[in-house]
Amino acid sequence: MDTRGKTNAEFRSEVNEILARHESSFDQVNAALQTLLTELQSLRVSRNSNHPNTEINPFASGESSHQPTRPDTQRSSSSLDQNHHHLKLSFPKFGGDDPTGWIYKAEQYFEFKNIASDQQVQLASFHLEGIALQWHRWLSKLKGPLDWEEFTRALLQRFGPTDYEDPSEALTRLKQTSIVEAYQEAFEQLSHSVDGIPDKFLMGCFIAGLKDEICHFMCSFLNVQ
């Protein structure tokens, strides 16, 4: 903004005009940032809860505490186990969209239902649809039987983002091309594929990928906070 030769009234008027022009975009970006922070926190909690020895799994068999188990606790645990084994869950279907999300759901299902590792790929193949099913038929003929790690690696190479091997690099190159909500959704999908990156860096990538005028406005706003 060129402020040379402008009166205070003209300067204030121009600032108010810019603020009014970007108010809607700022509200969208602010909401997106808050949602992203919540997503990152939820993802961290989920990963910590799935990390060995960090939390007690209420469905795990065997002793889970050093304290003596009371009879009522034993009955409660038995009831939980029965509910666990009889709970009806549907295995997620996959037709080519959001491969990382589908893999996460599938692995949650395997863990919850105690599916043996040598049965995981076959079970997953029953729930492939459309182009994903055609791809799996071709892959099976070409490669033969695969374990889950080999299968998911091939699936991500086929249906994942172009920069799957380095999703952090894809994050730094992602740019907003339409509305903020669409950019936020694409950013969150990529960020879920990245481990060990500080939240501050992710937030910086998110802001840097916004359209130039929104990015500059956000940077100016954050600098005065």
- 10-residue mean pLDDT series, the chain (225 residues): 52 60 64 71 59 42 43 50 65 92 92 95 97 96 94 91 65 85 82 78 88 84 65
**Confidence (pLDDT) at 21:** 59
Read off the tokens for 182: 């669409």
**Confidence (pLDDT) at 107:** 94
**Confidence (pLDDT) at 64:** 39
d(CA 44, CA 24): 30
CB 162 within 8 A of CB 71: no
Helix axis angle, 180-191 to 199-208, nearest 10°: 150
d(CA 187, CA 39): 11
* Strand, coil or helix: 126: coil
pTM metric for this prediction:
0.46
**Confidence (pLDDT) at 165:** 53
User: Is the C-alpha dihedral spanning 106, 191, 37, 50 positive or negative?
Assistant: positive
Burial of 183 (0-12, 13-18, 19+ CB in 10 A): buried
Instruction: Give the CA angle between residues 63, 69, 73 to the nearest 5°.
Output: 105
**Confidence (pLDDT) at 183:** 85
CB 26 within 8 A of CB 34: no
**Confidence (pLDDT) at 72:** 52
* Strand, coil or helix: 189: helix
| Domain chopping of the chain, boundaries | 18-39+92-223
**Confidence (pLDDT) at 105:** 92
Read off the tokens for 106: 């599938």
